[in-house]
């Protein structure tokens, strides 16, 4: 019996050691990618690859609409609209909007289900770059860890530049340039305040709003964003 317990202890200890070693190596792998992306642009993201796989199930020849453009070639209107819509305190926080998280928690508590997330732009970028779409406690912990890495290594302008270039805006439509071309047949640099507000309003449900441009919720959010845009600070 003593030998069995001794064997079990050794097996458990080795398993735990292997698990944490792999976990640390994974974090190092993530951090290395983030460091590389400080100066180099990511060509894709985990979320883009997932969406492409789904599209290929229906059409093996499907491709994503995506074209990287530098920060300076994206309309300030779109930058203001997205911050107004998604993360009003983006330039001030260090990755997490604790007030927004508290409000989202209270709202979810009142509704009895998850209707608000309180995620910042940095958190959304962390999720889109690396993680699956499944909502699990593990994913939220990993999202938080990646967010801390992003904020530690990149300045706000770089975080926002990557976000603007990989965010989803429709079925297979990713990034500001692809969205501007898809919906308005113009460059991202030319987006007007109204066009930018409409694109920002689409972000929570881009594939749905792509097909329902007159949805009441979309139009209401469009008006709110348009009104708030001038009060927004951009990096």
Q: What is the DSSP letter of 72?
A: G
Q: Kindly report the CATH number that applies to the domain delimited by 43-231.
A: 1.10.3810.10
Give the 3-state secondary structure of residue 228.
helix
Is pLDDT larger for residue 22 or for residue 204?
204
Prediction pTM value: 0.89
Q: What is the pLDDT of residue 215?
A: 96
7-21, pLDDT tens digit by residue?
A: 666 777 787 788 778
Average pLDDT score over residue span 34-63: 95
Q: Do residues 142 and 122 touch, judged by C-beta distance below 8 A?
A: no
**CB 197 within 8 Å of CB 81:** yes
Pick the more confident residue, 139 or 136: 139
Predicted confidence (pLDDT) at residue 108 exceeds the cutoff of 60: no
Is the pLDDT at 105 greater than 60? The verdict is no
Domain ranges of the chain: 1-36, 43-231
What average pLDDT is seen over the chain? 89
User: Could you give the C-alpha distances from 19 to 56, 113, 132, 140, 146, in angstroms and in order?
Assistant: 34, 33, 20, 19, 19
| CB 219, CB 68: distance < 8 Å | no
Q: Average pLDDT for residues 117-144, to the nearest whole number?
A: 85
Res. 114: pLDDT tops 50: no
Q: By the 8 A CB rule, do 179 and 188 touch? A: yes
User: Are the CB atoms for 235 and 91 separated by under 8 Å?
Assistant: yes
Per the CB < 8 A criterion, the answer to whether 77 and 225 are in contact is: no
Nearest to 114 by CA among 125, 124, 101, 105: 105
Query: For residue 101, is pLDDT > 70?
Result: no
Among 84-93, 106-115, 193-202, where is mean pLDDT lowest?
106-115
């Amino acid at each position: 019996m003593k030998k069995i317990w001794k064997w079990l202890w050794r097996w458990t200890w080795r398993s735990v050691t292997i698990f944490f070693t792999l976990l640390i190596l994974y974090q190092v792998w993530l951090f290395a990618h983030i460091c590389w992306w400080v100066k180099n642009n990511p060509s894709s993201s985990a979320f883009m690859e997932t969406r492409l796989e789904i599209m290929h199930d229906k059409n093996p020849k499907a491709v994503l609409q995506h074209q990287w453009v530098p920060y300076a070639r994206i309309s300030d209107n779109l930058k203001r609209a997205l911050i107004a819509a998604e993360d009003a305190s983006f330039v001030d926080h260090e990755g997490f909007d604790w007030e927004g998280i508290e409000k989202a928690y209270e709202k979810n508590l009142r509704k009895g289900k998850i209707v608000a997330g309180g995620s910042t732009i940095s958190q959304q970028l962390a999720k889109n770059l690396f993680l699956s779409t499944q909502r699990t406690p593990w994913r939220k912990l990993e999202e938080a860890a990646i967010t801390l890495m992003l904020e530690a290594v990149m300045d706000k302008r770089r975080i926002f530049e990557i976000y603007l270039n990989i965010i989803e805006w429709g079925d297979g439509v990713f990034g500001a340039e692809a969205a501007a071309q898809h919906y308005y047949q113009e460059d991202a640099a030319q987006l007007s305040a109204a066009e930018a507000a409409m694109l920002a309003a689409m972000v929570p449900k881009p594939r749905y709003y792509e097909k329902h441009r007159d949805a009441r919720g979309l139009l209401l959010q469009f008006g709110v964003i348009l009104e708030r845009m001038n009060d927004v600070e951009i990096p």
